[in-house]
Amino acid sequence: MRYCLRCLRIAALVQKLLSKSINYYLKEALYIIMNKEEWMSLSDQCIMGTYKRFPVVFTSGKGMKLWDTDGREYLDFVAGIAVCSLGHAHPAVSEAIKNQADKLIHVSNLYHIDTQIEYARLLIQQTALDKVFFCNSGAEANEGAIKLAKKYGNDRSGGLKNEIITMIGSFHGRTMATITATGQDKFHKGFNPLLAGFQYIPFNDLAALEKAISTSTCAVMIEPIQAEGGIRVPDSDYFKNVRRLCDEKDILLILDEVQVGMGRTGTLLAHEQDGIVPDIVTMAKAMGNGFPIGAVLAKDCVATAFEPGSHASTFGGNPLAMAAAKATLEALLAEDLISKCRLRGSYFMNILNELGKKHPVIREVRGRGLLIGMELDCEVAGIIKKCMDRGLLIASAGPQVLRFVPPLIVSEPEIDRCIEILDDVLREGA
Ligand SMILES: *Cc1c(COP(=O)(O)O)cnc(C)c1O
């Protein structure tokens, strides 16, 4: 251990002395000197143990592929958890980040920001919402949405309408307000007291929603498809009925599109397929193809509840993030990846269903576009590990659901390869 720390220190010193291109080779040399196990034990020494990580260190990627410290190649059906939708190292995004970094990285929202205005305009043109607030993550976007809904409700009721209904099995983030909004006990454990003013009801249950709404309810917050909760798709008329109920009872409909947004389900925003317009939408994961960015979108009449001083974010919408996000959205549209996502999604879904007929352990395949879950009769951890040993990355969504969220650029042969490996692994048993 002392040996690799010394290596790191020497490398850092030589890096200071040498040019950029030599730096690159030096880093490569470091991978030879320091093996995976040494990286991992250094990681345990200095990084908080909030994740149970897989034993691999990735160092580069391109498109659908990733490479680790041993030079091994992987086919990536995780995309950094539905983040890198354009694939790794997309040239337009890399170029935009490099150019903007040379020009201006940050100035603060005390001032108007040209790239922010440009991107906001583009985003709003593509959606049914009117205004946007930029932040840096999904949880921060949902915090913003929760605050906006409370402010809107309180302002209009003399402080009486401020409670939010969310769904059992939902996931909204890891800050105090968003774990409270998250309707799963395992995320609450050890963090009492939670915030007041949240209520949980079953997902896809209109009667439960109707019963839960009271005069103090200001909003209902829902994911169009519960992603972390196991890729759960509601009935096709659910959101139409939720919208109608929200209108009747004068409460806001907040949709958490952090994971399903940005084309993942075959439309830019998932709710377009439900034929409704929500009052507030949150987005994050795929917005910057890996650059951290989040957003709260709202209808004009709701957005006005935020006045100067109501809410803020130091980094939110800074020039660099906006350049990344703008390049990402432009590439998504220029490469027509959203309609490709629909085509590849149904191709993928069909062969996964075929696989289901072959392996009795497969209980159900469900999802939309390239957000697909496969529920098994057993735990999926062992299967994910075995796929990884064969060079295929898959995520999970709960203990018994495999989650497939590849970059939207995935090709049919790459889907075939994924199926081939999965078929092998399932034949062997978990
Ligand atoms: C990932 C996710 C979040 C949290 O996003 P972070 O960027 O990790 O804070 C919130 N809601 C949903 C639906 C998500 O999938």
pLDDT string in tens for the chain (430-residue length): 455 656 666 666 676 666 666 767 776 677 677 888 999 999 999 999 999 999 999 999 999 999 999 999 999 999 999 999 999 999 999 999 999 999 999 999 999 999 999 999 999 999 999 999 999 999 999 999 999 999 999 999 999 999 999 999 999 999 999 999 999 999 999 999 999 999 999 999 999 999 999 999 999 999 999 999 999 999 999 999 999 999 999 999 999 999 999 999 999 999 999 999 999 999 999 999 999 999 999 999 999 999 999 999 999 999 999 999 999 999 999 999 999 999 999 999 999 999 999 999 999 999 999 999 999 999 999 999 999 999 999 999 999 999 999 999 999 999 999 999 999 999 997 5
Ligand 1 atom closest to Cα of 285? Answer: 7
Q: How many CB atoms lie within 10 A of CB 270?
A: 26
SS3 184: coil
Is 203 one of the catalytic residues? no
- CA 338 to CA 237: how far, in whole Å? 23
Closest CA to 383 of 402, 363, 359, 407: 402
- CA 312 to CA 308: how far, in whole Å? 9
Q: 385 Cβ partners below 8 Å, 6+ apart?
A: 54
State which of 259, 293, 296, 396 you would mutate to test the pocket of ligand 1, scoring each by most atoms of that ligand within 8 A of its C-beta.
259
Helix (H) or strand (E) holding 198: strand 198-201
Q: Whose CA is nearest to atom 5 of ligand 1?
A: 138
Give me ligand 1 centre to Cα 401, in Å: 18
- CA 179 to CA 182: how far, in whole Å? 5
Q: How many CB atoms lie within 10 A of CB 4?
A: 17
Q: Which of 150, 151, 256, 348 is catalytic?
A: 256
> What is the value of pTM for the model shown?
0.94
CA angle 239, 240, 244 (to 5 degrees): 110
Q: Residues with Cβ within 6 A of ligand 1?
A: 137-139, 142, 171-173, 223, 227-228, 256, 258-259, 284-285
